[in-house]
């Protein structure tokens, strides 16, 4: 080999074992093309500005990178699967476009700090996209709440009828869950908003680079303070997938209730044909497939979380190739969560609520038992004594196969002399209106909660 002959490093990788199928990450990391080019352009600008490379060479590199971006977005870029990753593909094409000057882009930069910067940029966008989809779902929940302030349904504990609540109050409970998801995503955005570029392979770089300039160009709020940690840190990825996993937990709980409510046994809602499917042999069936799939896909996001934790748990500092395994779980958990948020939103927007059936369900059994115990307590009895009376009344109802709504004034008075004629004023509507405290199910409180929820939705997302 001629000593002075310049070699294209991308070309030299073709025959290397590192380019074997086992090590190739191109199939998933090419998704980072936009961020990789953005980072490279900022780096090339900085190299030229700081006179680390000639300014003219910097401009040629930037021009070439912009051409590559257009080619990718026009789907004219030829990805070479023999090159192991996105970096090598872009660099190889840059050599074809501008020649040996392409090699100067790698000055003061490693693939280690480059990929760490790429994924942080991608995740910042991903956090904002997830926040937007959570807010879309919240808007639907608020819309349903506004339409159902006076829709009465049984509230449940242990999946047993417990106390009457407004359906609006029930929908707003999910609003709170997704609001916590949004707050967590904002925190993850902050965790991602640290620029590792300039850390080199692990120890920094021997050039007077301008990291402040790079951070400003790339939109990072902070700059990493330890080069070893910067190239090996994936905590922000764990946090991101964890956020997705918790969000999927909330979606799965919502889906479970949709599935239960749509059964003939409950008949609280009717799902649209768009979000159900028929049976291959039972023509009468409308299966809640979309809700079931959301419930099922929750497991795959949990799997991504366990996967990244398992990858990280035994790694010595600093960078190890194991970290290549961080991306597929990130992308899959993001894609899954986004699609499930969209599906849940569609299910809610298109379902029909059977308000009459919900109200009928509150008239059965002993759902007003606690309200009646409170009635006795307000008459002067200790609550525990009221509880005992209500136990006796419940036993009386069960023995005579009656609901509380079937009990006469005379029967009430035979159980306790503390009962007066006004006991018949206690019904589901009375129960709901009596919970007029902050966070309660009373209409006044729900209207306040809806107003507050709208303000939260309209609050500007972190960008």
| Structure tokens, 147 | 């339409």
Structural domain includes residue 101: yes
Residues 293 and 310 placed together within one structural domain of the fold: yes
Q: What is the distance between the alpha carbons of residues 128 and 123, in angstroms, rounded to a whole number?
A: 9
Rounded Cα distance between 4 and 95, Å, is: 18
Same domain, yes or no: 264 and 341: yes
Name the pTM for this structure: 0.92
CATH number at residue 82: 1.10.275.10
Q: Where does 351-382 have alpha helices with state H?
A: 355-361, 369-378
Asked whether residue 2 is assigned to any structural domain, the reply reads no
> Residues 307, 203: one domain?
yes
In a shared domain, residues 244 and 327: yes
Segments of 225-341 assigned E as strands = 269-270
| pLDDT score of 366 | 87
- Residue 103 forms part of a structural domain: yes
Task: Please report, for the domain that includes residue 387, its CATH number.
Answer: 1.10.40.30
Are residues 137 and 254 located together in one domain of the fold? yes
Whole-number pLDDT of residue 174: 98
Residue 8, pLDDT score: 58
Residue 227 falls in the annotated catalytic set = no
Looking up tokens 């509507």 gives 429
In the prediction, which pLDDT does 7 show?
A: 46
How many contiguous H segments (helices) and E segments (strands) does the chain have? 18, 6
In a domain, 438, yes or no: yes
pLDDT of amino acid 1:
38
* CA pair distance 137, 345, nearest whole angstrom: 5
Residue that is last in its domain, among 323, 358, 393: 358
Same domain, 317 and 384: no
Q: d(Cα 383, Cα 389) in Å, to the nearest integer?
A: 10
Q: Do 379 and 354 share a structural domain?
A: no
Same domain, 410 and 302: no
Given this model, what pLDDT does residue 277 score? 84
pLDDT on residue 16: 53
Distance of CA 195 to the CA centre of its chain: 24
In a domain, 157, yes or no: no
Distance CA 446, CA 433 (A): 11
Catalytic position from the list 11, 279, 310, 414: 279
Contact 95, 425 (CB under 8 A): no
CATH at residue 282: 1.20.200.10
Is 16 marked active-site? Answer: no
Which residues constitute the domain of residue 314? 112-149+162-208+225-358
Same domain, 274 and 420: no
Which of 333, 358, 383 is at the close of a domain? 358
Helices 167-192 & 111-147, crossing angle to 10 degrees?
160
Is there a single domain that holds both residue 191 and residue 312? yes
Residue 370, C-beta contacts closer than 8 angstroms, at least 6 positions apart: 162, 163, 390
**Total domain count, the chain:** 3
**Rounded to the nearest 5°, which phi and psi values hold at 194?**
-125, 125
pLDDT score of 394:
87
Q: Is residue 52 part of a domain?
A: yes
* Position 363 in a domain: no
63 domain-assigned: yes
Does 123 share its domain with 252?
Answer: yes
Whether residues 66 and 144 share a domain: the answer is: no
pLDDT along the chain (463 residues), means of 10: 47 52 88 98 98 98 98 96 91 96 96 97 98 98 98 96 97 98 98 98 97 98 98 98 98 98 96 85 79 98 98 96 95 98 98 97 89 93 93 90 89 92 94 97 97 91 50
């Amino acid at each position: 080999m001629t000593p002075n002959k310049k070699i294209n490093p991308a070309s030299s990788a073709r025959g290397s074992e590192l380019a074997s199928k086992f090590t190739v990450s191109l199939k998933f990391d090419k998704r980072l093309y936009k961020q990789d080019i953005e980072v490279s352009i900022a780096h090339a600008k900085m190299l030229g500005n700081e006179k680390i490379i000639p300014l003219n060479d910097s401009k040629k590199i930037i021009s070439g990178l912009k051409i590559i971006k257009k080619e990718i977005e026009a789907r004219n870029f030829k990805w070479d699967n023999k090159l192991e990753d996105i970096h090598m593909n872009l660099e190889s094409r840059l050599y074809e476009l501008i020649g040996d000057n392409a090699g100067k882009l790698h000055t003061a930069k490693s693939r280690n700090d480059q990929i760490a910067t790429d994924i942080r940029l991608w995740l910042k966008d991903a956090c904002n996209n997830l926040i937007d989809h959570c807010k879309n779902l919240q808007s639907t929940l608020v819309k349903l709440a506004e339409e159902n302030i006076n829709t009465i349904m049984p509230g449940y504990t242990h999946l047993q009828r417990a106390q009457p609540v407004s359906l609006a109050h029930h929908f707003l409970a999910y609003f709170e869950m997704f609001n916590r998801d949004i707050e967590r995503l904002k925190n993850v955005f902050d965790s991602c908003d640290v620029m590792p570029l300039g850390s080199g392979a692990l120890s920094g770089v021997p050039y007077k680079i301008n990291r402040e300039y790079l951070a400003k160009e790339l939109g990072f709020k902070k700059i990493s303070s330890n080069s070893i940690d910067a190239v090996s840190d994936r905590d922000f990825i764990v946090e991101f997938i964890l956020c997705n996993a918790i969000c999927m937990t909330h979606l799965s709980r919502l889906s479970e209730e949709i599935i239960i409510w749509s059964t003939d046994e409950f008949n609280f809602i009717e799902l649209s044909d768009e979000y159900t499917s028929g049976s291959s042999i039972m023509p009468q069936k409308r299966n809640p497939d979309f809700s079931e799939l959301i419930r099922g896909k929750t497991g795959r996001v949990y799997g991504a979380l366990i996967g990244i934790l398992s990858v990280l748990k035994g790694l010595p500092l600093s960078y190890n190739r194991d970290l290549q395994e961080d991306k597929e779980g990130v992308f899959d958990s993001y894609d899954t969560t986004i699609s499930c948020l969209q599906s849940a939103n569609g299910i809610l927007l298109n379902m029909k609520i059977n308000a009459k059936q919900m109200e009928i369900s509150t008239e059965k059994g002993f759902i007003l038992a606690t309200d009646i115990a409170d009635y006795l307590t307000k008459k002067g009895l200790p609550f525990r004594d009221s509880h005992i009376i209500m136990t006796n009344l419940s036993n009386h109802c069960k023995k005579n196969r009656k609901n509380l709504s079937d009990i006469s004034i005379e029967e009430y008075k035979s159980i306790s002399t503390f009962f007066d004629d006004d006991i018949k004023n206690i019904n589901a509507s009375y129960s709901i209106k009596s919970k007029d405290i902050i966070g309660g199910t009373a209409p006044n409180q729900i209207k306040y909660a809806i107003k507050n929820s709208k303000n939260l939705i309209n609050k500007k997302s972190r960008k």
